[in-house]
Structure 1
């Protein structure tokens, strides 16, 4: 499983495991977790980088409606995994 680093707003770095990725309405989303164990916390990030940017820029999804919609897509993709938000 791929592990990626994110630079947080305060300048520190956090590492997450990419569980799944998808594209909805032209926007790329990542489902990531903070560990590989059964008690891992999952987060949804979306790509907010400019179209001509060579590096992806992800932000955590905070809008409740958007989060629920994307969560449902990931839940269907990973129907054999018990996801909780």
Structure 2
């Protein structure tokens, strides 16, 4: 009877180890997928910042042009 109990314990320990390994593996895969998603979000955020800076620059340029046109209209009128 003792040999049977030892065999069951060994099988349970083996199954527990395999289960823990599988859980760790899939957790690692999920973490890697999250890291890839975060990298693409970071790239998107950097692109949005770049686009916003370009837009601000363009708006400053247009602001200067509008000011020049306003000054021209004041000098004519």
TM-score, normalised with respect to structure 1: 0.20
Bigger Cα Rg: 2
If each structure's helix is expressed as a fraction of its own residues, which one has the higher value?
A: 2
If each structure's strand is expressed as a fraction of its own residues, which one has the higher value?
A: 1
Higher relative contact order (CA 8 A, sep 6+): 1
